[in-house]
């Protein structure tokens, strides 16, 4: 039975399932901390929200990519993924703090695509920095 869990197809399916579950949970947390409803705004065609949300999703997935690549166990990968998500979430709050002349959430909700794009790039960039430090 031990060989069953070590088969690459089983390991891939397990990692995939865990990452999808974590992505759903982490995106729900992002939904709570933003002042707008991501999916409602995306349905309305708000490109700024779509870019910011896509950046967060890419960032989370990229952190897990590094985590899976550098860890042998699924539990270790999940732990590093959680830690990376916390750092990504912290980066979101720092971005908001560093722009006192306007509110990030309000600008994104109003479809300010420049702010949505910067949010996307910050999430992606931070995911690479976070991922590079995962051991």
Distance separating alpha carbons of residues 86 and 69, to the nearest angstrom: 19
Q: What is the pLDDT of residues 9-62, one digit of tens each?
A: 988 898 999 999 999 999 999 999 998 999 999 999 999 999 999 999 999 999
pTM higher than 0.85, yes or no?
yes
Tell me which of 134 and 135 has the higher pLDDT: 134
- Give the start-to-end residue ranges of the domains of the chain: 2-132
Taking 80 as the threshold, does the pLDDT of residue 4 lie above it?
Answer: no
Query: Which pLDDT band holds residue 88 (cuts at 50, 70, 90)?
Result: very high
Distance separating alpha carbons of residues 105 and 48, to the nearest angstrom: 10
What average pLDDT does range 94-103 have in this prediction? 90
């Amino acid at each position: 039975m031990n060989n069953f869990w070590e088969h690459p197809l089983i390991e891939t399916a397990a990692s995939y399932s865990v990452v999808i579950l974590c992505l759903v949970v982490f995106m729900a947390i992002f939904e709570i901390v933003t002042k707008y409803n991501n999916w409602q705004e995306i349905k309305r065609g708000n490109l700024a929200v779509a870019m910011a949300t896509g950046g967060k999703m890419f960032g989370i997935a990229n952190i897990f990519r590094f985590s899976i690549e550098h860890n042998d166990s699924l539990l270790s990968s999940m732990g590093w993924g959680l830690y990376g998500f916390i750092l990504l979430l912290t980066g979101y709050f720092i971005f908001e703090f560093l722009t006192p002349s306007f509110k990030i959430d309000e600008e994104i909700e109003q479809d300010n695509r420049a702010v949505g794009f910067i949010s996307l790039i910050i999430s992606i960039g931070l995911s690479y920095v976070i991922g590079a430090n995962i051991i």
